[in-house]
Amino acid sequence: MAPGERVRMKRIGSAFRYGILWILVLSGVAVAADPELPVIKGEKTVALVNGEPITLKEFERTLEELHKGMGEKKAEGERRFSELLDRLINGKLILQESRNIGLDALPEVRETVQRYERKSMRVILLARQVKDIRPDRRKVEKTYRESIREVKVRSYLFSVEEDAKQAGEEIRSGSDFDNVMSRMVSEGKAKGNAVGGYVKGKELLPEISDAVSKLKSGGVSPVLKIPTGMKGESAYTILKLEGIRFPENPEAKEKARWEVLKEQRLEAIRKYVETLNKKYVKVNQGMLGSLDYEAKEPGIEALLLDQRVVADIRGEKPIRVEELSRAIQQKFYHGVQQAASSRKVNKEVPEVLGEMVNTRVLDKEALRRKIDKTPECREQVRAYEAEFLFGMFVQKAINPDIKVDEAVVRKYYDDHLKEFSAPEMIRGEDLAFAGREDASDALEKLRRGADFKWITANAPGQVGEKTRERVFPPEGAYIARNDLTASAGEAVEGARPGEYRLYQSPQGQFLVLHVLEVVPSKPYPFGSVQGKISEKMYGEEQQKSVEEWAGKLRATSDIKVFATDDMLKKIFDPSGGTPGGKS
């Protein structure tokens, strides 16, 4: 597919993506069996479209995706059962039409689907090699403890290396760390740089973190050279490790487990592919070593015609220099000659060849094991082909007729100006009191001219910082008025800069609000939102066209619907909660 075609394919708007949701192959929630649904080709079926079933599993997968996109909104989910089934039927009709007009026979479709099939085979083959791997418990524990390890460090900074070395020598000779450092500070040779509390090793400078990792609690480091932050300048430090702790962190433990599992799986895959290469591949190392893509002669054009074999694959076509050269050319899409001038090409050649060889041997092994015949692979390919065909139909039959004129976009902008306006912003400060009387007293003093900072420091009855509520962000930051809670928004409604208001929060605290600044809402310039509006309108037109096409196809199609709203609700939402009856 040409680059321009790919770009046009991407213009399938989200507004009608429901039409292809049904083809997504994802694990869904469990559903209850329902004897009222007919079984066709071994699957419970919710509808027949020209003899082609829409299965309960397909409906389940689509509903799962819909709930994910909506954040599991129950009410919307309940209303969408029959609507969703209608959309699935529309999608099936358009998919059938794309096949009727021969889109599935187009070379670009067949080639793209075939590439996906090979990729799917490789993924399934590799997944089988690692499915039984379990993370090594000792490695998990080691990784976990390294991630949660916290240290308490006391360090002293020297600007002169000789002074630092003198202090280090005295400590190694048996002098007390604190006594030596106290004297060095009093003589002006060192500055204390104690780290308050415990910190993670990664929060320290790399030089310090590395030294600390080698110390036991109570240990003292050698003299360390560290950057000062000034260009080209360094300082010197000696530190003492005062404590180590390992605070429990379940999230960190789970992360460590996945990190170890990922490493083990990658290593297993590496060894497996290496075994296949030894079994099937023989690389002509002499030939490979002689290829010079950075030399002016013979040049990339000659190598693109070179039929010499660089790698033999048993029972398959060999990899020739011309094929390797095409891959090199694709990798350096700005031009091999341009990359050659910076000596970047030759060192990439073994890696490019390795990727080509690995792909070939994995394809060969997957076909030998008939993975392409498995239900798992067939379903993935079927789903991908359906999605691709739907997109091709939209690209060829719908997109060419869609036009979004600038005048129409401008009218939409004018009619929805509020939608394309920056929100009103407000900046302020507040005080929180436990009782109304103290809050009212502070409010009265402020309105009579008392200084806000003075009231903050002296007014009685204020709620402590850890438990107090806020309406405005601290330090005078701006907040959009529509980001305030409904009750807080009402409290400052119509307030002018410099005005004070009293507000009682739903949690029972009394807040004195001081409005410092109000920035009115202002429309964004048309040019800055024109593209966004065009895309939105384009998507709406696409959706409308899809529905019109589906309507025409419905009129000449044989459609049988077996599932009612009540039946689908009984299956997917029997308890009134989330799909599958989970609450």
What are the backbone angles phi and psi of residue 516, rounded to the nearest 5°? -95, -40
Burial class from Cβ neighbours inside 10 Å (0-12, 13-18, 19+) for residue 198 reads middle
Query: What is the number of residues in the chain?
Result: 583
Give the long-range contacts of residues 498-506, CB within 8 A, separation 24 or more: 500/443, 500/446, 500/447, 502/439, 502/440, 502/443, 503/430, 503/471, 504/436, 505/469
Q: Does any domain span residue 544?
A: no
**Shared-domain flag, residues 516 and 572:** no
Q: Which of 245, 277, 294 is the last residue of a domain?
A: 245
- Beta carbons within 10 angstroms of residue 442's beta carbon: 25
Which of 368, 388, 406 finishes a domain?
A: 368
Q: Which long-range contacts (CB under 8 A, 24 or more apart) does 191-196 make?
A: 191/156, 191/157, 192/154, 192/156, 193/155, 193/156, 193/157, 193/237, 194/154, 194/155, 195/152, 195/153, 195/154, 195/155
Higher pLDDT, 231 or 356: 356
User: Does residue 300 sit in the same domain as residue 193?
Assistant: no
304 and 361 both lie in a single domain: yes
CB 15 within 8 A of CB 543: yes
Torsion of CA 225, 228, 232, 233, to 10 degrees: -70
Same domain, 37 and 118: yes
79 & 104 share domain: yes
Tokens (6 digits) for 347? 């060192």
Q: Are 96 and 50 within 8 A, CB to CB?
A: yes
Burial of residue 393 (number of CB atoms within 10 Å: 0-12, 13-18, 19+): buried
pLDDT-based confidence at residue 10 (cuts at 50, 70, 90):
very low
Is the pLDDT assigned to residue 576 strictly greater than 60? no
Residues 29 and 27: their CA atoms lie apart, in Å, by 7
Residues 264, 182 contacting (CB under 8 angstroms) = no
Q: Which long-range contacts (CB under 8 A, 24 or more apart) does 138-146 make?
A: 139/260, 139/263, 140/253, 140/256, 140/257, 140/260, 141/256, 143/256, 143/259, 143/260, 144/252, 144/253, 144/256, 144/257, 145/246
Top-ranked range on mean pLDDT: pick from 3-7, 82-86, 120-124, 564-568: 120-124
Give the residue among 250, 270, 421, 413 at the shortest CA–CA distance from 354: 270
Place of tokens 């067949």: 110
- Assess whether 208 and 271 both reside in one domain: no
457 belongs to a structural domain:
yes
Determine the pLDDT at residue 412. Answer: 94
* CA–CA gap between residue 222 and residue 349 (Å, rounded): 45
> Which residue range(s) make up the domain with 184?
150-245
Q: Tokens at residue 47, please? A: 């509808």
Mean pLDDT across the stretch 45-57? 93
Q: 460 — phi, psi (to 5°)?
A: -80, 160
Same-domain check for residues 357 and 273: yes
CA 499 to chain centre: 44
Dump pLDDT digits (tens) for 234-256. 889 999 999 999 999 999 999 99
pTM (whole model) above 0.75: no
> In terms of domains, do 20 and 65 share one?
yes
61 with 173, same domain? no
Is 399 within the bounds of a domain? no
Confidence of residue 475 (pLDDT cuts 50, 70, 90): confident
Nearest Cα to Cα of residue 325 among 347, 297, 353: 353
pLDDT at 558 over 50: yes
Burial 308-325 (b: 16+ CB within 10 A, else e): ebbbebeeeebbbbebbb
Whether residue 141 lies inside any domain: the answer is no
Which of these three, 368, 386, 416, is where a domain ends?
368
Q: Say if residue 155's pLDDT is above 90.
A: no
Q: Is residue 335 part of a domain?
A: yes
In a domain, 135, yes or no: no
The reply to whether 528 falls in a domain is no
Cα-only R_g, the chain: 34
**Does one domain contain both 13 and 112?**
yes
CA angle, corner 353, sides to 352 and 354, nearest 5? Answer: 90
The answer to whether residues 237 and 264 belong to one domain is no
Token pair 């990658």 is found at: 266
CATH number at residue 498: 3.10.50.40
In degrees to the nearest 10, what's the CA dihedral of 7, 8, 14, 15? 160
Residue 50 lies in a domain: yes
Structurally, the chain folds into a number of domains equal to: 4
Query: Are 399 and 11 spatial neighbours (Cβ–Cβ below 8 Å)?
Result: yes
Sign of CA dihedral 521, 524, 526, 531: negative
- In the predicted model, what is the mean pLDDT of the chain? 86
213: how many CB neighbours lie within 10 A of its CB?
13
Write out the H or E segment, with its range, that includes residue 580: none
216-255 b/e (C-beta count within 10 Å ≥ 16 → b):
eeeebbebbebeeeeeeeebbbbbbbeebeeeeeeebbee
Q: Note whether 117 and 381 are within 8 A (CB).
A: yes
Which residue, chain included where needed, has tokens 């509903």?
63
Least confident of 27-41, 259-273, 400-414, 565-579: 27-41
For the residues 209-220, what does the mean pLDDT come to?
A: 89
- Are 52 and 96 in contact by the 8 Å Cβ rule? The answer is yes
Please tell me whether residues 241 and 267 are part of one structural domain: no
Q: How confident is the model at residue 36 (pLDDT cuts 50, 70, 90)?
A: confident
Q: Are 125 and 371 in contact (CB under 8 A)?
A: yes
